[in-house]
A and B are shown apart, each in its own frame.
Chain A
């Protein structure tokens, strides 16, 4: 029988379960490369712990380097999933079903990786728990007015919420998997399904919880990146102390998040052969959203820089000039090209918009947004208010390796996730197909 979305009902079920069993050569190769790169990053971190933070390129006055750039970048990427999924769920967008789980998984993994960076950045990472507000014999209490502690609470809340938001709609699928599998998979799925039977009482509770969680998670997601922005904005540093930093960061986070989601969708579509489910319509819709965010990003970038230029404050102008015409100018040019010119051409011209061009734009935006984080952090630190303290930062091989390994780590985690759990919410998809939405 042909369903409303043009897929035969029997192939629907078989195709959605297929990626969970077996592994193609391409999959194994990708997993191995990701593992080796990720492991290399762990070795580099070990080297840094043994030799001390001096092996990184961070020096006075640029005490925040690649690690903090990566922290902001990955927290931004985490907005891919939960936020986008929550918006689509609350607006009841019928086309969302093949996209939501892929998006929610990105959030959880990106948050895990992003939250690691402040710890990697610590001189003595083994005492990271001193950040936590717990009674201790040293009478040492964290400063609750510090944005770094705000970060800790915001990220912990977001991570908890995102994991629950990913887990709840997984329960019916893992219950069905438990009925279809044996051995360790059966034990794992049975444990995770919590005894789900599919009763109307359970469905009712699940739908209600998902709707409620979507609302809560939206509020938390916006706060998380605002708090990350306040890490900078609360400092009276040139080009940081700005009231629009919160919304500017949130817009950038959603922008890079959508790009990450599109790239992940393109990869799993190809590797797991899910072309029938992740259709050009999904890329087209998300591509339009990406283009909208590109315009919003440009608006905020212009607003932020124009205000600084017009104010003509010497300290701000030092940083501004460094960014626009100085050592950071090439990066600034590439950033504008990647974040605005590429989306304008490839997504703005309707004839050029396709799965391929949307994917190319997503890669371009990810590069551009990483550079944007770099350009927010480094120019301000290298040109502080005290002119004599001017310095420059160049990353070492340790920082570059750890940065590269985090990209590999997220690919590794994502590939493992795709093999353990259906990357498309099967019950939601079948529901949409049967209703003919």
Chain B
């Protein structure tokens, strides 16, 4: 209820400060941040290739939209294709009992494979249906979002922002519900202690695979929304720097929280947008510096730090320290 209210106010107020065109992409990035925040912060799965699912969603949408000429089915496919791809990839990794570094290598390598492959498809022989893959040039000129069933009624500009914002709110509420459900609690249990959960009779491999696929579905949806916003998809969506950014958003915002990754994504993307308007200091340099500084000095991220402070100052009992310890322990576990 409160979430819905806060969201409604945000959707109403924010366009007064920032143009809806920019806001739309911030919302989309927020959703992408949430997708990794879910599987990493609550499932303990560090994926170095979340961008792969983002790109896959965007490309699926673009290709399907060109072939179908209407946006409803492509939107659905853009969620399903990354989810199925992630389910297969996840099954391969988790049933092979791969953990931390190896998980990192494989997700990173798979992202690279997709990047290299898509990049090399500039030739006219690479077509899916009537859509040319276009290699490094990307795919422009596909049907953008329209009212379901009416390909001529485009949703764009301010209305597109509202569609994205509402979808973001819906995804957020679904994630919240998921985390409150048994599935979510069991996922957190697995993050905390995989062996114990297996000894209690839970099939850790299957559950991690499902969670991984859910994360990919959200990333895919974000990808499709991004494709609609940019009206072109390029191989850069799959790039390692895109993957790095998603990880940075989560770290800066705060792992193990739902709003952290969203705020981290929107905040840093907006910062990048502002920095892009000056040319004194290179953008990448600042992104890198932020990541290093956060890992060194504020490894649990902004949101937990702020809520911790809040609790120290206002709560009768100093919960903040406990939360800090909890986060630190989680990190230690990630670090094997």
The answer to whether A and B assemble together is no
Question: Measuring CB to CB, which residues of chain A are less than 8 angstroms from any residue of chain B?
Answer: none
Question: Measuring CB to CB, which residues of chain B are less than 8 angstroms from any residue of chain A?
Answer: none
